[in-house]
């Protein structure tokens, strides 16, 4: 019989395991959100597939991480609570305790206060199972404080029931009565709380040695359980307490209620085993050997059955936990790979963004440079055209001035001739000629400052200026690198001091600036003369107009024209010149 039972149990376990294995596909579980896993676990638990539900709860608990969202952390804490409850019902108190402690840590770290009543209630039950009742009571009290604060009536009721039960078992009547009164405040709100009010009243009366009143209260408890069709364990518990009250003093009544406690087939096996043991003992004391053996055999069979079932369950649970742990490790590896991949993708995205941003910035810079170059080129073009116009205008003005000066000279000569004929006198030089002292060759060496520049008349200044301009039009002279104001004085026949003063008064510049202006203008003409000077380098052009320093020429050219000679030459070649040869 025992072997048949073991075979059936094993086949049942194997079938359950094979069916559940399909759900533990590691790759798919790694991708399932925590909330979906919790929904599956809850569904399995509601359909009494406790082992499968436990596997899912383990996976959820193991997936807890500080990186999770707050909602997922909350689900992890709930999974730890459910897992601890399953372990407790299976008798794995250490594993149950560890699960509840993990739930406590998660709740404390994230301020999930609404979970504290349930967690502390369960931890209290574990301590009481280890016979550390006082520590259990402390956790019950902590849970009650949070339940009152949060108005969590469900857990508050459960905590009250447990704490009154512990004080009754410890024979602490005053403490039991204190919490019993709190329990009575909740009467008629819930059938379970009403049941325990009847039950605990009977137990308190028992502790107060009021046996008859206690019996009446426990009978009311049993009747209440029958009327409200409570779970078989509630009725069996009431009958068990009644049987204990009758005890050896009223064995028949005790036997009656122990037998009543096992009438319902839904009565939990561990309660049936306790009742069968008591019946065996009572019939032995009564001397009814046959019934004592009958109940004794039933007790042994049920004990063996529970032992074997527990053994098989432990094997099954160990296998399930091993598979779950293996699945968890695989999921962890997949998660690590996924995180590494995400990090790599994020890094690549950042690099791509940086490269794209740099490319966009580079393109913008190119566009800006192009626009700037375009505007600069337009400005250069405008400067080129404007300077050419100025050059042409200067050439035209020079030609006109020469013509006018020639006409003036002719008129002066005619005027002198007419005047001489009228007065029968020899012709005298025009009044505008300089006194002998102004001629450097006739100037007194002993007194070089005999005549002041301020004594020059307007006509004299014009004569000096005309002589200077005649020399300056000779490009061969001014383009000589050794040309200076002394050379100009020699060529014009005027004192260098007078020449310098006239240039300063007329053009508001010194001789050096004056000569540079003529040389730059000549350089401009030569740069425009593509046919003759098109193959000249800038240095050659600079030397051809009298500059020894190539760099100095470039600076002066840009100062006068606005653009460098190389750009000017390039534009001239593009337009192929627009002035006659120099």
Q: Which residue has the higher pLDDT, 289 or 432?
A: 289
Residue 155: inside a domain: yes
Q: Is 397 helix (H, G, I), strand (E, B) or coil?
A: helix
Residues 413 and 400 in one domain: yes
Residue 373 sits at the vertex; the CA angle it makes with 372 and 376, to the nearest 5 degrees, is 85
Q: Which residues neighbour 377 within 8 Å (Cβ) at sequence distance 6 or greater?
A: none
Rounded-to-integer distance, Cα 101 and Cα 317, Å:
21
Residues 77 and 161 in one domain: no
| The pLDDT of residue 74 | 94
Q: Give residue 11's pLDDT band: very low, low, confident or very high (50, 70, 90).
A: very low
| The pLDDT of residue 139 | 94
Domain count, the chain: 5
Q: Which residues neighbour 314 within 8 Å (Cβ) at sequence distance 6 or greater?
A: none
At residue 6, does pLDDT exceed 60? no
| The pLDDT of residue 372 | 84
Residue 263: inside a domain: no
Q: Which residue has the higher pLDDT, 554 or 460?
A: 554
Mean pLDDT comparison of 31-35, 138-142, 263-267, 514-518, highest-scoring range = 138-142
Residues 22 and 105 in one domain: yes
Rounded-to-integer distance, Cα 117 and Cα 156, Å:
8
| The pLDDT of residue 263 | 85
Residues 98 and 65 in one domain: yes
Name the percent of the chain lying above pLDDT 70: 83
Rounded-to-integer distance, Cα 308 and Cα 253, Å:
33
> Pick from 165, 224, 141: which is nearest to 190 by CA?
224
Token pair, residue 131, equals: 């016979």
At residue 566, does pLDDT exceed 80? yes
| The pLDDT of residue 146 | 93
- Read off the CATH number of the domain in which 530 is found: 1.10.10.60
Structure confidence by residue, pLDDT tens digits, 150-190: 999 999 989 999 999 899 888 899 999 999 899 888 888 88
Long-range contacts of 90-96 (CB under 8 A, 24+ apart): 90/313, 90/317, 91/310, 92/317, 93/126, 93/129, 93/130, 96/122, 96/126
| The pLDDT of residue 313 | 58
Residue 123: inside a domain: yes
Contact 305, 299 (CB under 8 A): no
| The pLDDT of residue 318 | 60
pLDDT, average across residues 489-512: 89
Token pair, residue 384, equals: 């080129």
Residues 105 and 119 in one domain: no
Domain around 560:
509-582
Residues 85 and 101 in one domain: yes
Rounded-to-integer distance, Cα 1 and Cα 554, Å:
119
Q: Give residue 283's pLDDT band: very low, low, confident or very high (50, 70, 90).
A: confident
How many other C-beta atoms lie within 10 A of the C-beta of residue 195?
A: 23
Residues 33 and 101 in one domain: yes
Structure confidence by residue, pLDDT tens digits, 288-347: 899 888 988 988 888 887 666 555 555 555 655 555 666 656 666 666 776 778 788 888
| The pLDDT of residue 410 | 81
Contact 224, 198 (CB under 8 A): yes
Q: Which residues neighbour 531 within 8 Å (Cβ) at sequence distance 6 or greater?
A: 577, 581
When mean pLDDT is compared across 240-244, 250-254, 284-288, 420-424, the lowest value belongs to 420-424
Which helix (H) or strand (E) segment is 369 a member of? helix 289-423
Rounded-to-integer distance, Cα 344 and Cα 161, Å:
56
Residue 296: inside a domain: no
Residue 387: inside a domain: no
Residue 244: inside a domain: no
Residues 164 and 149 in one domain: yes
| The pLDDT of residue 10 | 41
Residue 349: inside a domain: no
- Read off the CATH number of the domain in which 171 is found: 1.25.40.10
Residue 293 sits at the vertex; the CA angle it makes with 288 and 296, to the nearest 5 degrees, is 120
Hey, what's the torsion of the CAs at 180, 186, 187, 190, to 10 degrees?
A: -120
Rounded-to-integer distance, Cα 231 and Cα 266, Å:
8
Structure confidence by residue, pLDDT tens digits, 437-457: 444 444 433 333 344 556 778
At residue 376, does pLDDT exceed 50? yes
Contact 81, 117 (CB under 8 A): no
Residues 8 and 86 in one domain: yes
Residue 369: inside a domain: no
């Amino acid at each position: 019989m025992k072997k048949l039972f073991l075979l059936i149990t094993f086949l049942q376990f194997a079938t359950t395991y094979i069916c559940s294995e399909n759900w533990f596909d590691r790759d798919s579980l790694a991708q399932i959100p925590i909330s979906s896993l919790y929904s599956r676990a809850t569904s399995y638990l509601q359909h009494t597939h406790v082992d499968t539900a436990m596997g899912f709860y383990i996976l959820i608990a193991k997936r807890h991480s500080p990186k999770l969202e707050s909602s997922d952390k909350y689900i992890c804490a709930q999974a730890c609570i459910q897992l601890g409850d399953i372990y407790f019902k299976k008798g794995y108190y250490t594993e149950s305790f560890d699960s509840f402690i993990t739930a406590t840590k998660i709740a404390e770290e994230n301020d999930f206060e609404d979970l504290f009543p349930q967690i502390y209630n369960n931890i209290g039950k574990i301590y009481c199972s280890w016979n550390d009742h006082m520590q259990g009571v402390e956790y019950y009290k902590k849970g009650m404080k949070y339940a009152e604060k949060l108005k969590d009536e469900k857990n508050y009721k459960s905590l009250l029931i447990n704490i009154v039960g512990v004080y009754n078992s410890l024979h602490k009547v005053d403490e039991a009565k204190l919490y019993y009164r709190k329990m009575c405040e909740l009467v008629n709100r819930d059938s379970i709380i009403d049941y325990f009010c009847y039950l605990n009243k009977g137990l308190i009366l028992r502790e107060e040695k009021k046996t008859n009143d206690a019996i009446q209260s426990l009978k009311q408890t049993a009747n209440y359980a029958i009327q409200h069709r409570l779970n078989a364990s509630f009725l069996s518990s009431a009958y068990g307490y009644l049987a204990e009250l009758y005890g050896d003093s009223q064995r028949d009544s005790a036997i009656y209620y122990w037998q009543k406690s096992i009438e319902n087939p839904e009565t939990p096996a561990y309660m049936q085993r306790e009742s069968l043991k008591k019946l065996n003992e009572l019939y032995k004391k009564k001397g009814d050997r046959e019934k004592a053996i009958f109940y004794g055999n039933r007790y042994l069979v049920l004990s063996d059955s529970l032992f074997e079932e527990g053994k098989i369950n432990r094997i099954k649970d160990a296998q399930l936990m091993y598979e779950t742990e293996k699945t968890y490790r695989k999921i962890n590896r997949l998660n690590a790979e996924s995180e590494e991949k995400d990090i790599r993708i994020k890094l690549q995205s950042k690099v791509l963004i940086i490269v794209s941003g740099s490319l966009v910035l580079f393109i913008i810079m190119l566009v800006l440079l192009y626009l700037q170059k375009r505007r600069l080129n337009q400005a250069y073009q405008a400067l080129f055209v404007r300077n050419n116009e100025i050059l042409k205008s200067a050439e035209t003005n020079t030609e006109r001035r020469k013509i006018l000066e020639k006409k003036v000279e002719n008129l002066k000569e005619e005027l002198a001739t007419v005047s001489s004929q009228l007065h029968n006198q020899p012709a005298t030089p025009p009044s505008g000629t300089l006194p002998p002292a102004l001629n450097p060759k006739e100037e007194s060496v002993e007194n070089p400052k005999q005549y002041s520049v301020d004594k020059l008349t307007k006509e004299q200044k014009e004569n000096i200026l005309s002589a200077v301009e005649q020399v300056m039009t000779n490009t061969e002279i001014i383009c000589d690198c050794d040309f200076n104001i002394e050379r100009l004085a020699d060529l014009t026949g005027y004192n260098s001091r007078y020449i310098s003063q006239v240039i300063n008064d007329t053009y508001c510049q010194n001789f050096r600036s004056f000569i540079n202006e003529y040389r730059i203008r000549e350089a401009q003409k030569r740069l425009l003369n593509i046919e003759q000077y098109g193959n000249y380098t800038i240095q050659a052009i600079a030397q051809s107009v009298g500059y020894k320093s190539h760099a100095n020429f470039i600076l002066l050219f840009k100062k006068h024209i606005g653009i460098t000679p190389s750009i000017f030459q390039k534009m001239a070649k593009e337009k192929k010149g627009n002035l006659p040869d120099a």
